[in-house]
Amino acid sequence: MGKLDKLQPAAVWNIFEKMSDIPRGSGNEAGVQNMFKAWAKERGLGCKEDAVGNLLVSIPGTKGLEKGAPVLIQGHVDMVCEKNAATKHDFEKDPLKLRINGDWVSAEGTTLGADNGIGVAMGLALADDKTVAHGPVEVLLTVDEERGLTGAAGVEAGFFTSTKMINLDSEQDDAIFIGCAGGRDTQYTLKNKSARAPKDSAGRKVTISGLKGGHSGLDIHTHRGNAIKILTRALQAAAEVMDVRLVEINGGSMRNAIPREAEAKVVIDRKLGRKFKQTIDACLKKVKAEELAGTDDGFTWKSTAVQAPRSFSLTSSKTTLSLLSAIPNGVTGMSMDIAGLVESSTNLGVVKTHGSKVGTVCCSRSSVMSVLEELVIQHRTIGELAGAEVVQPEGYPGWQPNMKSPILAVTRAKYKQAFGVEAELLAIHAGLECGLLTEKYPSLDIVSFGPNITGAQSPDEKVQISSVQKIWKLFAATVKEVAKG
């Protein structure tokens, strides 16, 4: 007897519970994929695996729809492994301890893996739930989504035959998702000249803290302060009225997070200590009052005296601050199709000093690939103008909203029919597997939807039972209609 035996739709919860017994952190999907191979074999379903470990399970159409239009249902089998400090759980060995609390299913002290286990279960449940009519279905079970989308990136052209696809990795049941952003990083390295600090100079350390930070895609429209940018402005203000030589500058910890803290050591004329502090304070007070009120009220700064016998040369210091000033940051464009959607953005995520080298990392995103390309060129040329070495590793593609998508029209109509209201149309300003799949299957027609999941990627993750039933209803109606072509 499983914990979820009484929940409806039974076929979905049954598969979800089976998955929850097998550890499946990103990179450790062999166990769950083997279970699904055996599961497919038991049912006489076609099942093939690709070089990176993705599975494709083929479910024939139901009576009368055997020759219907095929549809690809896609979800990722891996999950984020997070637990509370007090929880004893081995993510390599232990099954998740599922529990039901009112209308919600969660796991005791750990992530639940409803992201994206519930989507995977819905796709496969078409084989077990005999009440749903559908055409030929291909269920694509990808690996390693959470760490870097490498499963979806590894799907080769020709692996599946459907030209329409439903991704079930969304987490909000009143919306249909129709796009996501692609992304590409830029890494700058400035090689500075270092020199002994001039006679009669003094060291100062300026620290920026108390900012909220957040995800560099999903939170970029919130106007939260970027600690590196704010620090740079304060130092630039001082550099306008005196010589400011950098000793080091450091801030941020992840390319895809808005930096919350930053700190610089500088060398200034000993007699100008007071003026330095006044200039920094005046600049930052203004930023706090005019730009961060209401969004980052915790913002604070400090400037203290430190020892600094060496620094970068004045020219190198100016170039470093100029580069950090010139690098674009924040929202660079809004979508014309979807009100309120950030189309393009860039985040100055990390700056780090190693000896006399200053490294900077930026993360750019756009749902329009040509716009992303332009951002990438902009980053590169700014770096080149500053004489920095610029590296731009390969990025990942976005999924551009297509308001004329036939599968979107079907899904919207079925949503309205089932629930009496229009679904909201949303896109997300972050990566989804859909973007990568369109790279090898450019004409693939996609929508994404899924049940309400809250607290994903944390031990508070839970999925709403009534919402799974709602989405199942939409899913069943949509696959049936798609089969009719």
Question: Do the beta carbons of residue 300 and residue 233 sit within 8 Å?
Answer: no
Interacting stretch for Zn ion, rule CB under 5 A, among 116-124, 156-164, 219-227, 308-316?
Answer: 116-124
Q: Which CB, 116 or 438, lies closer to Zn ion?
A: 116
Question: Do the beta carbons of residue 264 and residue 248 sit within 8 Å?
Answer: yes
Please tell me whether residue 26 binds Zn ion under the rule CB under 5 A: no
Interacting stretch for Zn ion, rule CB under 5 A, among 83-91, 111-119, 176-184, 320-328?
Answer: 111-119
Please tell me whether residue 185 binds Zn ion under the rule CB under 5 A: no
Interacting stretch for Zn ion, rule CB under 5 A, among 37-45, 164-172, 334-342, 423-431?
Answer: 164-172
Q: How many CA atoms lie within 13 A of 86 on its CB side?
A: 2
Count of positions on this chain that bind Zn ion (CB under 5 A): 3
Interacting stretch for Zn ion, rule CB under 5 A, among 102-110, 166-174, 277-285, 318-326?
Answer: 166-174
Q: Which CB, 115 or 138, lies closer to Zn ion?
A: 115
CB of 395 to Zn ion, least distance (A): 19
Distance CA 200, CA 45 (A): 81
Please tell me whether residue 29 binds Zn ion under the rule CB under 5 A: no
CB of 73 to Zn ion, least distance (A): 14
Q: Which CB, 153 or 211, lies closer to Zn ion?
A: 153
Terminal-residue alpha carbon distance, the chain: 40
Interacting stretch for Zn ion, rule CB under 5 A, among 4-12, 168-176, 206-214, 261-269?
Answer: 168-176
Q: Which CB, 122 or 237, lies closer to Zn ion?
A: 122
Strand partners, 443: none
Distance CA 194, CA 203 (A): 15
Residue 11's Cβ-count burial label (10 Å; 0-12, 13-18, 19+) is buried
Please tell me whether residue 115 binds Zn ion under the rule CB under 5 A: yes
Encoded tokens for 241 = 């009225």
Question: Do the beta carbons of residue 434 and residue 182 sit within 8 Å?
Answer: no
Residues marked active site are found at: 78, 145
Binding to Zn ion in span 390-449, by CB under 5 A: none
CB of 150 to Zn ion, least distance (A): 14
Cis peptide before 9 (omega within 30 of 0): yes
Please tell me whether residue 169 binds Zn ion under the rule CB under 5 A: yes
Encoded tokens for 296 = 């980052």
Question: Do the beta carbons of residue 215 and residue 257 sit within 8 Å?
Answer: yes
CB of 75 to Zn ion, least distance (A): 8
CB of 225 to Zn ion, least distance (A): 29
Q: Which CB, 29 or 169, lies closer to Zn ion?
A: 169
Please give the C-alpha separations between residue 254 and each of 191, 424, 467, in angstroms, as whole numbers. 22, 32, 34
In the list 33, 54, 116, 316, the residue contacting Zn ion (rule: CB under 5 A) is 116
Among 15, 17, 64, which Cα is nearest to 42's?
15
Encoded tokens for 244 = 């400011």
What backbone phi and psi angles, to 5 degrees, belong to 476?
-60, -45
Q: Which CB, 152 or 476, lies closer to Zn ion?
A: 152
What is the total residue count of the chain? 485
Q: Which CB, 79 or 206, lies closer to Zn ion?
A: 79
In which region does residue 215 sit, left (phi positive, over 0), alpha (psi from -120 to 50) or beta (all else)?
beta
Q: Which residues bind Zn ion (CB under 5 A)?
A: 115-116, 169
